[in-house]
Amino acid sequence: MAEVRFDAASRIYPGTEVPAVNELNLDIADGELLVLVGPSGSGKSTALRMLAGLEFIDKGSVFINDKDVTLAPPQDRDIAMVFQNYALYPQMSVAANMGFALKQQGIPKDERRKRVEEAARILDLEPYLDRKPKNLSGGQRQRVAMGRAIVRSPQVFLMDEPLSNLDAKLRVQTRTELADLQARLGVTTVYVTHDQVEAMTMGHRVAVLDHGVLQQVARPRDLYSKPENRFVAGFIGSPAMNLVDVDATNGIAIAGGTVPFDDSVNVANQSGTVSVGVRPEHLSLVTDGTPDSIAGEVTVVEELGSEAFVHVRTKHQGDDLTLVVRDEGETSTQRGDQVSVAFTGPTHLFGADGERVGD
């Protein structure tokens, strides 16, 4: 069992100026499942590969269990990795795939067999041990890749988008199984994904990266309720938070509706262009004439059954602005309706620098 620490670790690819990962500081606790999430090019995979030893660490250090592994080759780090495309050795049987690392360590055949069978039992792979990867379904392949990692009982699991090759339904199911398995084994896990739903549902904590820079690392609910900057606010949550640029010179209002903030925000101190964030569930459709409501026209209704998301077009500072509002399921609202929108929950304010203002 192990703790992992990134200490100002940077990766600058040869021939590039901007670091792919820029001075990453991150502490991962023993047994924790930490998710690295971000759009493509955010450096999340690079960070994982730095921990794996597949990328040079140009500056800073990486520690596993307080041991500096910055310069150690992958095989000396006692880690196991699950790749996006599983990277199963095509010519080897499932059993041989799972036992390959043990074989490299010179572990005797009987012992190997025992450990492979044990992992196969955990993952329901016993009937397939003699098959070749090409004769397995996508879900089974994914489990073999997991099995290959488990067999080694490593200090750390590294997972690079392990579910992205599965179809949507299987992905949701496997997500739960994987989180459960990780909890049972208690192995420290670093998990990379671009899917923020996966990040939120699986991670004990989630680290959001953008352009190689760590934006925020927090528990999923804190990430959702208290995004530290405009990027995190826009990235986490589906549908996304409504983010509106507002000229703050004379108070903060959207399309004529004054935005309420909690006490920690001093609106009078703001100047220039700031961003207001409000999640769809913290907006409501109200009857006309409600004070501080925003008048607009419905352009799209996304009916999901249990809830509906209504897109309302309005005019804000001379431009068209569309706000997404959550409404109850089986809504009677239709495209073309004239509606009013009111603030009914917490709002977020991001200063001109993109950082969160107030608590």
Residues lying near other proteins in the complex (CB under 8 A) are found at 52-54, 56-59, 61, 63, 66-68, 70-71, 73-75, 79-81, 83-85, 87, 89-92, 100-101, 104-105, 148
Cβ closest to other proteins, residue 6 vs residue 100:
100
105 vs 271, which CB is nearer to other proteins? Answer: 105
3-state secondary structure of 148: helix
State the minimum distance, in angstroms, from the CB of residue 199 to other proteins: 22
| Least distance between other proteins and beta carbon 110 (Å) | 20
> Of 350, 339, 352, whose CA–CA distance to 257 is shortest?
339
Nearest-approach distance from CB 85 to other proteins, in angstroms: 6
Q: Which is nearer to other proteins, 163 or 218 (CB)?
A: 163
**Could you give the CA distance from residue 293 to residue 339 in angstroms, rounded to a whole number?**
10
Please, which residue, 103 or 114, has the CB nearer to other proteins?
Answer: 103
Look at strands 294-303 and 283-286 and give their pairing: unpaired
In angstroms, give the least distance from the CB of 89 to other proteins: 6
Q: Residue 100 or residue 235: which is nearer to other proteins going by CB?
A: 100
Distance CA 356, CA 359 (A): 8
Residue written as token pair 């179809």 = 167
| Closer of 16 and 104 to other proteins (Cβ) | 104
Q: Position of tokens 């989180």?
A: 179
Closest-CA residue to 36 (of 232, 225, 205, 223): 205
Q: Report yes or no: 144 and 95 within 8 Å, Cβ to Cβ.
A: no
Instruction: Tell how strand 253-254 and strand 21-28 pair up.
Output: unpaired
Q: What tokens does 302 get?
A: 């996304």
- 């998710």: which residue's tokens? 35
**Of 61, 3, 60, which Cα lies nearest the Cα of 28?**
3
Shortest Å distance, C-beta 205 to other proteins? 24
In whole angstroms, the minimum distance from the beta carbon of 44 to other proteins comes to 16
Nearest to 98 by CA among 135, 47, 158, 153: 153
Measured from the CB atom, the residue of 53 and 351 that comes closer to other proteins is 53
User: Taking the complex as a whole, how short is the minimal distance between the CB of residue 102 and other proteins, in angstroms?
Assistant: 9
Judge whether 290 and 256 are in contact, CB under 8 Å: no
